[in-house]
């Protein structure tokens, strides 16, 4: 009975913030935004109270958890030292708190049914955010040049990552999936954001790597990549033909460096000027170098880059820029806000965890391709990989919704990895074994019990993982694998029948 209302809590945890928006005025819409944040926080706390617990330790899970706690609670030290504006500090820290909350909720040994609900809610929330952000941005802005940065969802790359997993890794296609992916391409084209296209290309390459753990698989994956790449090129051509007025601004942005007076891209220079000022501030003294300037601390553009922006800013406007929100570059801003002690642990731990899970997935897919929860790990990897891909053009932990989604993705990835690492047999590890002693005579192969599979190690891998056998079989079927409902097992299926 303690899990009776877990499913409503999961949906209430992920869906409200999908309607989170960027108000046109910083002083308006706060009551509505609080109304979206509060249900998510309450549902997250409720899920923490009813969630199952791990009984075994995992080194990777411990490292990631400690790094995230150090980032969030260590920010209090920098806040006490720097005495930043309390409101700015709390507003900047809130996405990181939601990131931590999502991780703690998802990094649990949830049952196969709860995992299916998490994946369903994640996909629905990302889809709602895609549609709502586009129409809200178009309705509240003027022309396309004014709203192009407001029509793109903060988790668009995460949605694309899950769809690319279905297309390339799972090889599942449907009209609905293709239509959703085409819609994301259209939004990318209208937003004129080059960094998002680069992120899509990186996720495409990662999906290829996951689908080809061996040379034999690599040949088939390369053939599929040509088909998918041709389809993507066709989608881009159709969008360019349908919106000819957008093609010219794309050309201008690609060749912006050649058209500027300084010969450099103004958007790139503003990012470099912002990072340079953050770096100069944090390295100004030993205290800031160790503990950072704190979240919500003000920063501006470095004067070193003023000559390169002469055609975009005059001197008065250049020095009038003074920001306190999370910086556009996630990696530099973490160092700026937390210093060496509190700022670097979490980014390094996240990158290490992503790399470990990617290589582990490739290895397990080659030796135990039908292992339960392996598709869940693949989708979680692709969803969380959108976080470093998003950092190319912005800070994924700046918006509240993306902080929550990426936290849940990280939690699912780490929890699934820990369960598979414990359950999969040691024979799948690449270790050198001592040669077996020669047998003196032929030995008959003993009869294996029905529940033991040769090469699978444990007697019952699904039970070790905490999933049912029907769930493990159904994980590779249906539209989204674990996203489909699973049938309940037959009661007393293993009880012997008397009289036979």
Lowest mean pLDDT among 80-94, 215-229, 331-345: 215-229
pLDDT at 153 over 60: yes
The closest of 68, 161, 98 to 397, measured between CA atoms, is: 98
Average pLDDT over residues 122-140: 92
pLDDT of residue 222: 66
Torsions phi, psi for 299 (to 5 deg)? -145, 165
pLDDT at 438 over 80: no
Q: Say which residue, 249 or 403, is predicted with more confidence.
A: 403
Give pLDDT tens digits for 447-482.
Answer: 444 443 444 444 445 554 555 544 444 444 444 444
Helix (H, G, I), strand (E, B) or coil at 323: strand
Give pLDDT tens digits for 222-241.
Answer: 666 666 667 666 766 666 66
pLDDT at 432 over 50: no
pLDDT of residue 237: 66
Taking the C-alpha atoms of residue 499 and residue 66, their distance in angstroms, rounded to an integer, is: 57
Task: Please state, as a whole number, how many other Cβ atoms lie within 10 Å of the Cβ of residue 497.
Answer: 6
Average pLDDT over residues 129-140: 89
Average pLDDT over residues 11-18: 95
Residue 428 token pair: 């799948």
pLDDT of residue 150: 82
pLDDT at 63 over 70: yes
Taking the C-alpha atoms of residue 102 and residue 406, their distance in angstroms, rounded to an integer, is: 8
Taking the C-alpha atoms of residue 421 and residue 415, their distance in angstroms, rounded to an integer, is: 10
pLDDT of residue 74: 93
Distance in Å from the first CA to the final CA of the chain: 38
Lowest mean pLDDT among 321-335, 356-370, 446-460: 446-460
pLDDT of residue 497: 45
Task: Please state, as a whole number, how many other Cβ atoms lie within 10 Å of the Cβ of residue 247.
Answer: 13
Q: Say which residue, 110 or 231, is predicted with more confidence.
A: 110
Q: Residue 481, by phi and psi: left (phi above 0), alpha (psi -120 to 50) or beta?
A: left
pLDDT of residue 215: 61
Average pLDDT over residues 292-304: 92
Cβ(266)–Cβ(51) below 8 Å: no
In 368-444, which ranges are continuous DSSP H helix?
374-390, 400-423
pLDDT at 95 over 50: yes
The residue whose two tokens read 């806040």 is 79
Q: Say which residue, 8 or 472, is predicted with more confidence.
A: 8
How many angstroms from the chain centroid is the CA of residue 446? 47
pLDDT of residue 308: 83
Task: Please state, as a whole number, how many other Cβ atoms lie within 10 Å of the Cβ of residue 307.
Answer: 10
Average pLDDT over residues 320-343: 92
Taking the C-alpha atoms of residue 249 and residue 341, their distance in angstroms, rounded to an integer, is: 43
Taking the C-alpha atoms of residue 394 and residue 326, their distance in angstroms, rounded to an integer, is: 9
Taking the C-alpha atoms of residue 159 and residue 409, their distance in angstroms, rounded to an integer, is: 12
Helix (H, G, I), strand (E, B) or coil at 46: helix
Whole-number percent of the chain with pLDDT over 90: 50
pLDDT of residue 24: 46
Give pLDDT tens digits for 235-284.
Answer: 666 666 665 555 555 555 555 444 555 556 777 888 899 999 999 999 99
Residue partners of 275: CB distance under 8 A and separation at least 6: 327, 329, 332
Taking the C-alpha atoms of residue 143 and residue 449, their distance in angstroms, rounded to an integer, is: 69
Q: Say which residue, 310 or 103, is predicted with more confidence.
A: 103
Question: To the nearest whole number, what is the mean pLDDT of the chain?
Answer: 80
The closest of 164, 208, 156, 229 to 187, measured between CA atoms, is: 156
pLDDT of residue 145: 67
The closest of 276, 381, 387, 247 to 335, measured between CA atoms, is: 276
pLDDT of residue 214: 67
């Amino acid at each position: 009975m303690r899990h009776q209302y877990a499913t409503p809590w999961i949906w209430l945890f992920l869906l409200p913030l999908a309607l989170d928006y960027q108000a046109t005025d910083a002083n308006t819409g706060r009551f509505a935004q609080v109304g979206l944040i509060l249900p998510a926080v309450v549902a997250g706390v409720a899920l923490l109270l009813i969630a199952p617990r791990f009984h075994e330790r995992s080194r990777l899970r411990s490292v990631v958890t400690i790094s995230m706690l150090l980032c969030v609670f260590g920010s209090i030290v920098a806040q006490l030292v720097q005495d930043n504006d309390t409101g700015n500090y709390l507003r900047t820290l809130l996405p990181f708190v939601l990131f931590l909350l999502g991780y703690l909720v998802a990094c649990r040994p949830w049952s196969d049914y709860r995992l299916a609900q998490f994946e369903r809610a994640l996909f629905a929330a990302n889809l709602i955010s895609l549609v709502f952000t586009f129409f809200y941005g178009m309705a509240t802005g003027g022309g396309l040049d004014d709203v192009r940065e407001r029509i793109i969802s903060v988790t668009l790359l995460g949605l694309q990552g899950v769809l690319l997993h279905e297309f390339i890794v799972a090889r599942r296609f449907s009209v609905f999936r293709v239509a959703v992916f085409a819609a994301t391409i259209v939004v990318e084209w209208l937003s004129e954001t080059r960094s998002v296209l680069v992120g899509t290309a990186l996720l495409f390459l990662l999906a290829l790597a996951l689908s080809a753990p061996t040379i034999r698989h690599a040949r088939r994956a390369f053939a599929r990549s040509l088909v998918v790449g041709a389809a993507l090129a066709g989608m881009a051509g159709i969008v360019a033909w349908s919106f000819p007025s957008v093609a010219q601004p794309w050309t201008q942005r690609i060749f912006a460096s050649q058209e500027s007076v300084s010969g450099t891209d103004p958007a790139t220079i503003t990012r470099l000027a912002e990072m340079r000022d953050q770096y100069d501030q944090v390295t100004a003294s030993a205290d800031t170098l160790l503990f950072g300037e704190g979240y919500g601390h003000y920063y501006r553009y470095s004067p070193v880059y003023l000559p390169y922006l002469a055609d975009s800013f005059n001197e008065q406007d250049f020095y009038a820029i003074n920001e306190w929100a999370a910086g556009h570059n996630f990696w530099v801003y973490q160092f700026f806000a937390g210093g060496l002690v509190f700022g670097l642990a979490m980014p390094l731990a996240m990158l290490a965890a992503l790399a470990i899970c990617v290589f582990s997935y490739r290895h397990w897919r080659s030796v135990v391709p039908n292992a339960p929860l392996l598709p869940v790990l693949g989708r979680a990897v692709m969803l969380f990989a959108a976080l470093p891909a998003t950092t190319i053009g912005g800070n994924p932990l700046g918006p509240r919704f993306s902080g929550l989604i990426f936290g849940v993705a990280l939690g699912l990835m780490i929890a699934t990895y820990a369960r598979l690492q414990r359950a999969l047999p040691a024979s799948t590890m690449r270790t050198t074994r001592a040669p077996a002693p020669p047998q003196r005579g032929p030995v008959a192969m003993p009869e294996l019990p029905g529940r033991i599979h040769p090469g699978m190690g444990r007697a019952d891998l699904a039970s070790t993982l905490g999933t049912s056998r029907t769930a493990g079989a159904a994980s590779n079927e249906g539209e989204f694998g674990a996203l489909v409902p699973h049938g309940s097992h037959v009661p007393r299926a293993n009880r012997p029948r008397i009289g036979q």
